[in-house]
């Protein structure tokens, strides 16, 4: 007996059942194991079949930045704001904690977003600028 290749489950010889793998749970609604939603609001789960594992990625429309063995998701507008701040020599700590830059994120006429300053860790800023 084996478990479906396209589901996050593995065969348990002792119980002779398909058990959910790490970071997956049984969904009554779906009727099989599914990857668990990450705690982070900008991430979504996805399943990789070889080796079977549940991973996380940025939700659609967001871009990942990698630093300090972790990643964070940002909008394209934030990415552009980091590049703009560097080009205009506006990279500064501002009201942010040590090791972070205050990035001014402008709104556009088509957005509902208001202008704001966002604190972004220095390693993430360096990653964005290196792309």
Inter-axis angle of helices 122-130 and 76-87, to 10 degrees?
90
Total count of domains within the chain: 2
Radius of gyration of the chain (CA): 20
Q: What is the pLDDT of residue 108?
A: 65
48 and 70 fall within a common domain: no
67 and 82 fall within a common domain: yes
pLDDT tens digit sequence for 58-106: 999 999 999 988 889 999 999 999 999 999 999 999 999 999 999 999 8
State which residues form the domain around 97.
62-130
Regarding predicted confidence, which is higher, 113 or 63?
A: 63
Location of structure tokens 């705690």: 39
Domain assignment of residue 78, yes or no? yes
């Amino acid at each position: 007996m084996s478990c479906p290749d396209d589901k996050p489950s593995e065969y348990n010889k002792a119980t002779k059942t398909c058990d959910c793998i790490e970071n997956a749970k049984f969904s009554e609604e779906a009727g099989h194991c599914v990857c668990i939603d990450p705690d982070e609001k900008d991430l979504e789960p996805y399943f990789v079949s070889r080796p079977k594992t549940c991973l996380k990625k940025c939700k659609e429309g967001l871009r990942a930045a990698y630093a300090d063995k972790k990643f964070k998701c940002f909008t394209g507008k934030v990415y552009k704001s980091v590049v703009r701040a560097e080009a205009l020599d506006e990279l500064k700590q501002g009201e942010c904690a040590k090791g972070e830059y205050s990035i001014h994120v402008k709104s556009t006429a088509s957005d509902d977003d208001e202008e704001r300053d966002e604190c972004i860790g220095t390693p993430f800023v360096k990653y964005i600028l290196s792309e």
